[in-house]
Structure 1
Amino acid sequence: MKVLRARDALAVFRDGEEVPGIHVYGLRVRHDPRVALYPSEVWDTTGEPTRFTLYGDNWEVLLWAVPLRKWPRKKRMAAALRATMSRMIDSGCRVAWVAAEGFPFCDPPMLFDPACMSDSVLAWMDDSGRGWFDLDPDRPIAPVSEDVVQSLRKYSAGLSDVE
């Protein structure tokens, strides 16, 4: 069986068509007035990302579906991921992460529950500045471990685990 490189497997939908890209999420308190400013200077895209906001009573998840024209090399990819997730954090997000189209996403109270989102987080950052940015477009997709997903759940307690 042939193993796909991340660049061959990661995609977003743009105008009804699947194109290369990534999904960047951020979890924050609902109604935070700060605006999430997308860092267009760090990506070679086919336009602005599609933006979505998912929400419950106390939480909201911001989402950028970023369509890529050209994949950066590993070192540049890590820098672009850090810059992008930093912008999510700057907008009040407690945790930001990267996932792919078709990977499980669960609304709170199941957000970051390994039983629901195992193998769904490809890169992450929290508002303390810690993170994992090692998503190499030329290697197979390698989600973070269930232990890391569980630690993101604990770190975002009060948002990830409430309806």
Structure 2
Amino acid sequence: MANIGPTELLIFVAVIAVSAAFLIGVARRSTSGPAASAPRPRLDPAELHHQVTGLIAAGKTVQAVKLVREQTGLGLADAKRYTDDLAAGRPPHRAFHPGATAPGPIAAPQPAADLATRVRHLKAAGRTEQAVFLVRGETGMDEADAQRFVDSLDGSGPAPS
């Protein structure tokens, strides 16, 4: 083994000290990050619905799913379904989760409406693509037929027969 002189020993100790300082800094950052911040206060169902709908309209679907998970305790798949239901204009459903007594619709601020009314609401909000998706999902129409149905609906009145 080669002899280590005082210069090499000093370099070796300096490398160890810098490495230790780096690891301590990383450990401090990971414990003082967002996880250490105060939890969000719980929202009532109408406010949650409003905030999630706003995030969806802004194209922030991931943040909407995250908010649903934080506020309801739902798993990822159920929170995604809740968000997808809202995006498609359907009343959201919940699955069994801690605190839920039975599966079924979650209270929404507005009662569920017929397909034509929901399509009109989506069109009025400038969400024609979601309206077509809703029609296709609930009727089984192909895209062209669903688009014609959506285009045929005006802002008010009954659906065409």
TM-score range, shorter chain: under 0.3
Greater helix proportion = 2
Higher relative contact order (CA 8 A, sep 6+): 1
Greater strand proportion = 1
Q: TM-score, normalised by structure 2?
A: 0.28
Radius of gyration: which is bigger? 2
Q: TM-score, normalised by structure 1?
A: 0.27
